[in-house]
Amino acid sequence: MNGKVLEANVRALPGMACIDLTGEISAQAEDVLNQAYEQAMSTNPGTILLNFNGVEYINSTGIALILNLLVKAGRSHRKLYSYGLNDHYREIFRITRLSDFMRIFSDENAAMAAV
Amino acid sequence: MQEKWTELLHFSLPSQPGMERVAMERAAGALHGLLSDIALERLKTAVAEGTLNAIEHGNHFQEDLPVEVNIWYSPSAVRVNIIDQGGSQMIPESSVPDIDAKLAGLESTRGWGMFLIRNMVDEVRITGDGQRHTLELVSYRESNP
């Protein structure tokens, strides 16, 4: 059985690029996630915003993939923000300390206000 | 006093990618109403990660090797055993992942599975009998906020 394959849509916002994510972030999501990140980078944004509203499941490999994006963002001196995480995944981002390095907002407007 | 355990569900899954989601959903269905919503979400994550470890590190993605899942409850706790056919090689105890080292490129960004499991449930035990590994997960029914 395969779960819902991750889909990603990139759109431009003032000062940032937003990646809308839908589906599951697991090993099968690696190519989609990386391609979306590269597409977002092509507009040379100062900040990349991950929208987790449509994400149903993130596993330990998904945590590693998100961490890879943080590494890439850091190397290019860009910020990686996020919104749309439910309480359970907020807890996981806190436990893993992802949230120490990636600001988590309640919604898109709050993230845009921080840029 | 000896805990009285009642079996809720027992099933086997092939060692295929994605089966951890099946294990998670079947466990959640069986345990619905026995844990708070928060505790159930945590246990679901632990079951998914434990099953993923069994498929990947225990059975090495050999589809014909089953992952067995046994679920029990007692008045004070629920217990999920996840069993692979990993032989005599014990699953190594993982250290706490160092996110600073990972971000600095000093170690792999992977390696979160056992860390997540240990943070999602109240008790974790790993045992082996030379042929099989058993990961035992216990969540207390009233301790989780």
- Residues A1/B19, Cβ–Cβ less than 8 Å: yes
Mean pLDDT of chain A: 95
Three-state DSSP class for residue B115: helix
Q: What's this model's pTM, rounded to 2 decimal places?
A: 0.93
Residue A47: predicted pLDDT: 97
pLDDT attached to residue B90: 64
Q: Are B42 and A97 in contact (CB < 8 Å)?
A: no
Taking a C-beta distance cutoff of 8 angstroms, is the pair B97, B112 a contact? yes
pLDDT for B1 equals: 58
Q: What is the pLDDT of residues B13-66, one digit of tens each?
A: 999 999 999 999 999 999 999 999 999 999 999 999 999 999 999 999 999 999
Distances (CA, A) of A32 to A4, A28, A43, B74: 13, 8, 18, 43
Q: Which of A1, A5, A70, A100 to mutate to test the interface with B (most CBs of B within 10 A)?
A: A1
User: Quick check: B116 and A92 CB within 8 A?
Assistant: yes
Residue A2: band (very low, low, confident or very high) from pLDDT cuts 50, 70, 90: low
pLDDT in tens, A39-75: 999 999 999 999 999 999 999 999 999 999 999 999 9
Q: Count the alpha carbons within 13 Å of B90 in the hemisphere toward its beta carbon.
A: 8
pLDDT tens string B59-89: 999 999 999 999 999 999 999 999 999 877 6
ipTM, two decimals: 0.92
Q: Which residues are paired to B139 by β-bridges?
A: B78
Element (H, E) at A112: helix A108-114
Q: Is A109 left (phi over 0), alpha (psi -120 to 50) or beta?
A: alpha
CB within 8 Å: A98 and B111: no
3-state secondary structure of B24: helix
Out of A65, A88, A95, name the one closest to residue B119 (CB). Answer: A95
Q: Which residues of A20-32 are buried (b: 16+ CB within 10 A; e: fewer)?
A: bbbbbbbbbbbeb
Confidence of residue B94 (pLDDT cuts 50, 70, 90): low
Structure tokens of B26?
A: 């079947």
Q: Report the residue of B57, B99, B118, B119 to disrupt the A interface, i.e. the one with the largest count of A CBs within 10 Å.
A: B99
- Please report the residues numbered 49 through 88 in chain A whose beta carbons come closer than 8 angstroms to any beta carbon of chain B: 57, 59-61, 63-65, 67-68, 70-71, 74, 87-88
Instruction: For residues A38 and B68, give the distance between their C-alpha atoms in angstroms, rounded to a whole number.
Output: 40
For B60: left if phi > 0, alpha if psi spans -120 to 50, otherwise beta; the answer is left
